[in-house]
Amino acid sequence: MSSPTVASSTELVHVAGSKHFPIKLTKTNFLVWRQQVHSTLVGLDLLGFVDGTSVAPVQFLDAATKKLNPVYLLWHRQDQILLGAILGSLSESVQPLISLATTAHEAWTRLTSNLASMSRSHIISLKAQLHKNPRGSRSIDEFIADMSTIAADLALAGSPVEHDDLIVSIMTQLGDEYMSIYQSLRGRNESLTIDELGHILNDCERQLQPKDALETPIVPTANYVGRSTSGGSSSSSRPSGHSHAPSRDSFRRGRG
């Protein structure tokens, strides 16, 4: 059937890729890009041009005289506007896929056949990373940032991660020493933000560190002040009884 917009109006609907389709299509975000274009074209009553339901009217009113059909001309112009807008919303790596397309529907079909499966493969890969990404030697902040980046990439690919699922993925890959925190979080009625979780885990990490690693070592600052006297005494001279040198006990801490 013909497009309602073209059938009921002689005015073209101007569509610009940068304005109407701000999310650029890459090889990994086809699903979210497709949703963007689909929703916009539904709102503009132009979806038929890309899904194939708006069929081109007959081109000539009289085949013998080759007199052009004005309805076809309007349809064709609208179709080319959409084709240009779609091309303008593609990244350079994707543009060659539709370089030979002559209609918006043909461009849409080529993009779907080439990128839909690639996008799904990318989503599966990201989900695998999210669930198998041990912290290793990274700091808490580095680990959480990496997990959040994976979740953001999934959202861009059209498969957003539930907030609580992200929290669970983070907690279950930290190690057994953090299991008590995980158990306590399960009993909460309200979800934590990622920032709040980071603060809690950093506090826990500090508590898990050995006590000696948290203490600042004591560095003597008055070593044998009597060894260099104004009288030029030798380095073997002992400090007088009223010198300010530390007591022997202060250098034998922990000997028993």
Question: What is the chain's mean pLDDT, rounded?
Answer: 82
pLDDT at residue 187 in the model: 73
Check pLDDT > 80 for residue 231. Answer: no
Both tokens of residue 6?
A: 């073209």
Map residue 161 onto helix, strand or coil: coil
DSSP letter at 90 equals: B
Q: How confident is the model at residue 83 (pLDDT cuts 50, 70, 90)?
A: very high
Spell out the residues 6+ positions from residue 61 whose beta carbon is closer than 8 angstroms to its own. Answer: 67, 68, 69
Q: pTM for the complete prediction?
A: 0.60
Question: Tokens 């499966």, residue?
Answer: 117
Q: From CA 61, how far away is CA 181, in angstroms rounded? A: 76
Are 155 and 194 in contact, with CB atoms under 8 Å apart?
A: no
Check pLDDT > 70 for residue 122. Answer: yes
**pLDDT higher for 236 or 100?**
100
Lowest mean pLDDT among 19-23, 77-81, 117-121, 131-135: 117-121
In one-letter notation, the amino acid at residue 110 is R
Segment 77-86 shows an average pLDDT of 98
The H-or-E segment that residue 68 falls in is strand 67-68
DSSP per-residue letters across 189-247: SSPPPHHHHHHHHHHHHHHHS-HHHHSPPP--S-TTGGGS-TT---TTPPPPTT--PPP
Question: Tokens 């990404």, residue?
Answer: 133
Q: From CA 141, how far away is CA 244, in angstroms rounded? A: 46
Question: Tokens 């680990």, residue?
Answer: 143
